[in-house]
Amino acid sequence: MRGDRRKRPARPGAPDSAHRVQRYGLRVAAVGYLAALLIVPVAIIFVRTFEDGLGPPIDAITSPEGRHAFWLTLVCVAVAVPLNTIFGVLAALVLVRQKFRGKAIVNTLIDLPFAISPVVIGLSLLLVYGIDGWIGGDLQEAGIKVIFSTPGMILATIFVSLPFVVRETMPVLQEVGNEQEQAASTLGASGWQTFWRITLPSIRWGVTYGVILATARALGEFGAVSVVSGRISGETETLPLFVEKQFANFDLAGAYAAAIVLALIALAVLLSMNLSRRKERSA
Amino acid sequence: MAATEGMGITVDGVEKHFGDFEALKGVSVAVPNGSLTALLGPSGSGKSTLLRVIAGLDQPDGGSVRIAGREVTGVTPQKRGVGFVFQHYAAFKHMTVARNVGFGLKIRKRPKEEIAAKVDELLRLVHLQGFAHRYPSELSGGQRQRMALARALAVEPEVLLLDEPFGALDATVRKELRTWLRRLHEDVHVTTIFVTHDQEEAMDVAEQIVVMNDGLIEQTGSPRDLYESPANAFVMGFVGEVNRIGENLVRPHDIEILLEPDGTSQEGQIERVAHLGFEVRVELVLDDGRRLAVQTTRQDAEERELEAGQIVYLRPDRERRFATA
């Protein structure tokens, strides 16, 4: 932080050094905590992956199964994130700008995916779309297979990554207020024009954070997807499932390699978030 | 129904509720074409709500609004032909000054060259030439408000509505913009209503003042009318300072200070003499303990050596008594 480096007028005596100890102490604690819990384990994965050279990890992730898992993960993200973005912006607009009965309930429901364990989400999808589920049998007869198939995994991904765009957009929308929109309407803009030219540009950074967080979450989802996938190798296996399977099969090189791919994607996503934050500040 | 001939804006019997709160209790106003009118009142008097109803930003629960003879009560703001200026500017933060000003024309799909020429002309009018490529965050409050005004004027509105346009600015800038608005109105001559709670601002700028209180109109008239013949105690108290003597209200400059008693005068003791430049304000206590203020000139105060502690005699002139006071 640049702010910390600002020179303060020197104050004589003990309070200053006590202050310094306190400051450094806090920093050491924060960094130490991060290192022990995050940085060291992730770093060890990198080390272990490449300890036998580049061969085994590359083989593992370029195997047909590995490539399919990678592809399927991208499909789930590519469907779930745009849908959740559209839903998220609409829901945020409704929740911030409109008054209606049951608004508090809707607001709470949106957090449900945060609160419920992903495994429970997976099970509930089974209960609805499974063969013996609520509408699963009828869908099956109509030739639509949801569970143990891509649609079910996409549904699970949508479910777990749903709250992010709403939650990131709402406070921004609140802060921006609606005067700019009112000004646009007096200048002759229709509702649609106002949305595209005024509302969306003013909330774009909030939406961007939401999209990035939702993407990271969708990429890494394990529990819910695992339950509805049936884990058919080369068919219904996403990258996180693939990693876990390799690990369970003692194919450690493969597991680590796939884990690294996953970690790199997530890292890229989070970095892009940091960059967009910086860009926002300078904007 | 009020006559609409020659009227820029006609408001007839407008009512507006927010839940249990009655913001407007049947308000009728006629604003002549090309005039500069102030809606003056304390906060919560309904003046901003009335302005928003005229703009279509709030829908009235009853009554009608006509702009330039056209019935617009159910019409969206988009199609009313009004320019609206907000207290907090409502600048489009993600657009440059030029794009802010040109927004209405772009929506109307005017050719690029026409927009550029018009924006240029307006920026000169509001003294913002050279700021075209700045963002609102790089402007001062006064500059932002002038940009907002240019943006509202760009679409050549039938009427210009300003909601406490100088309310967020500091005193010096406010006075400057006030004078500037009056001059601008002389140049552009669009029917203009501005909302303010500052009586001095209203008297300085407006040709016609509509005084509002508690969701109703108390009086409409020229600044001089309101000051000299207020319709009731509220208006008298709101457009200038008043003293209450018994049942009567009197302006501080309508009380004469005598050094010797005459038949009708009241005795009082000077508590404080405040020199406010040309004007001197003398604060007194009457024998029954009530306080009042008298305005006089510096010359008068010096000639008669008025000072704290002195006993003087007061003769009020042009006292007023209102039925409901």
Mean pLDDT of A235-248: 87
Strand partners, B32: B7
Flag if B86 and A183 touch (Cβ within 8 Å): yes
Predicted confidence at residue B1, as pLDDT, reads 44
Residue scoring higher pLDDT (B79 or A140): B79
Predicted confidence at residue B325, as pLDDT, reads 44
Q: Are B264 and B315 in contact (CB under 8 A)?
A: yes
Mean pLDDT of A129-157: 86
Alpha carbon distance B13, A149 (integer Å): 65
Mean pLDDT of A243-255: 83
Q: Are B161 and B193 in contact (CB under 8 A)?
A: yes
Flag if A187 and B103 touch (Cβ within 8 Å): yes
Alpha carbon distance B213, B223 (integer Å): 17
Residue B101, class by beta-carbon neighbours within 10 Å (0-12 exposed, 13-18 middle, 19+ buried)?
buried
Mean pLDDT of A207-228: 90
Residue A14's pLDDT band, with cuts at 50, 70 and 90, is low
Alpha carbon distance B84, B82 (integer Å): 6
For residue B148, list chain A residues with Cβ-Cβ distance below 8 A.
183
Alpha carbon distance B43, A13 (integer Å): 54
Question: Is the pLDDT at A281 greater than 70, yes or no?
Answer: no
Residue B4's pLDDT band, with cuts at 50, 70 and 90, is low
Interhelix angle A64-97/A55-62, nearest 10 degrees: 70
Query: CA A34 from chain center: how many Å?
Result: 20
Flag if A185 and B94 touch (Cβ within 8 Å): no
Flag if B77 and A185 touch (Cβ within 8 Å): yes
Question: Is the pLDDT at A13 greater than 60, yes or no?
Answer: no
Mean pLDDT for chain A overall: 85
Backbone angles phi, psi at A193, to 5 degrees: -65, -40
DSSP collapsed to 3 states, B100-163? HHHHHHHHCCCCHHHHHHHHHHHHHHCCCCCCCCCCHHHCCHHHHHHHHHHHHHHCCCCEEEEE
Residue scoring higher pLDDT (A164 or A16): A164
Rg of chain B, C-alpha, whole Å: 24
Q: Which of A186, A188, A198 sits opposite B108 (nearest CB)?
A: A188
Number of Cβ atoms within 10 Å of the Cβ of B62: 14
CA angle B221, B224, B229 (to 5 degrees): 75
Rg of chain A, C-alpha, whole Å: 24
Distance from CA of B136 to the nearest CA of A (A): 12
Distance from CA of A195 to the nearest CA of B (A): 13
Mean pLDDT of B58-79: 92
Mean pLDDT of A259-277: 81
Residues B95-148 pLDDT 10s:
999 999 999 999 999 999 999 999 999 999 889 999 999 999 999 999 999 999
Residue A40's pLDDT band, with cuts at 50, 70 and 90, is confident
Closest residue of B to A182, CA-based?
A: B57
For residue B79, list chain A residues with Cβ-Cβ distance below 8 A.
188
For residue A188, list chain B residues with Cβ-Cβ distance below 8 A.
78-79, 104, 107-108, 155
Which pair of tokens denotes residue B139? 């402007």
CA angle A146, A147, A150 (to 5 degrees): 65
Which of A43-47, A84-88, A257-261 is the most confident on average?
Answer: A84-88
Flag if A188 and B82 touch (Cβ within 8 Å): no
Which residue, among B70, B69, B56, B77, has the nearest Cα to B14 in the 3D structure?
Answer: B56
Alpha carbon distance B277, A84 (integer Å): 66
Mean pLDDT of B294-316: 88
Distance from CA of A211 to the nearest CA of B (A): 20
Question: Is the pLDDT at B54 greater than 80, yes or no?
Answer: yes
Question: Is the pLDDT at A256 greater than 50, yes or no?
Answer: yes
Flag if A198 and B92 touch (Cβ within 8 Å): yes
Number of Cβ atoms within 10 Å of the Cβ of B132: 17
For residue B57, list chain A residues with Cβ-Cβ distance below 8 A.
182, 185-186
Q: Are B96 and B109 in contact (CB under 8 A)?
A: no
**pTM, rounded to two decimals:** 0.81
Closest residue of A to B99, CA-based?
A: A197
Is beta strand B208-213 parallel, antiparallel or unpaired with respect to B216-221? Answer: antiparallel
Alpha carbon distance B111, B114 (integer Å): 5
Question: Is the pLDDT at B151 greater than 80, yes or no?
Answer: yes
Is beta strand B159-163 parallel, antiparallel or unpaired with respect to B82-85? Answer: parallel
Q: Buried b / exposed e across A116-140, counting CB within 10 Å, b at 16+?
A: eebeebbbbbbeebbeebeebeebb
Predicted confidence at residue A58, as pLDDT, reads 79
For residue B82, list chain A residues with Cβ-Cβ distance below 8 A.
186
Number of Cβ atoms within 10 Å of the Cβ of B61: 14
**Which amino acid belongs to residue A24?**
Y
Predicted confidence at residue B168, as pLDDT, reads 81
Flag if B151 and A183 touch (Cβ within 8 Å): yes
Predicted confidence at residue B88, as pLDDT, reads 92
Mean pLDDT of B162-188: 88
Predicted confidence at residue B223, as pLDDT, reads 94
Which residue, among B143, B134, B130, has the nearest Cα to B180 in the 3D structure?
Answer: B143
What is the share, in percent, of chain B residues with pLDDT greater than 90? 63
Residue scoring higher pLDDT (B14 or B2): B14
Predicted confidence at residue B173, as pLDDT, reads 86
Which pair of tokens denotes residue B220? 């409409």
Predicted confidence at residue A6, as pLDDT, reads 47
Question: What domains are defined for chain A?
Answer: 2-48 (no CATH), 54-282 (1.10.3720.10)
Residues A160-208 pLDDT 10s:
999 999 999 999 999 999 999 999 999 999 999 999 999 999 999 899 9
Which residues from B are below 8 Å from A when comparing CB atoms?
55-57, 76-80, 82-84, 86, 88, 90-94, 103-104, 107-108, 148, 151-152, 154-155
Mean pLDDT of B170-199: 89
Residue A3's pLDDT band, with cuts at 50, 70 and 90, is very low
Residues B10-25 pLDDT 10s:
999 999 999 899 999 9
Q: How far is CA A263 from CA A41, A45, A161, A243, in A?
A: 12, 10, 18, 11
Which of B120-129, B165-174, B296-305 is the most confident on average?
Answer: B120-129
Closest residue of A to B77, CA-based?
A: A186
Q: Are B144 and B191 in contact (CB under 8 A)?
A: no
Q: Buried b / exposed e across B254-274, counting CB within 10 Å, b at 16+?
A: bbebeeeeeeebbebebeebe
Name the DSSP class of A39: I
Q: Which of A179, A187, A190 sits opposite B88 (nearest CB)?
A: A179
* Token pair 């109307």: residue: B108
Name the DSSP class of B236: H
Residues A71-84 pLDDT 10s:
999 999 999 999 99
Residue B93's pLDDT band, with cuts at 50, 70 and 90, is very high
Residue scoring higher pLDDT (A22 or A90): A90
Predicted confidence at residue A280, as pLDDT, reads 63
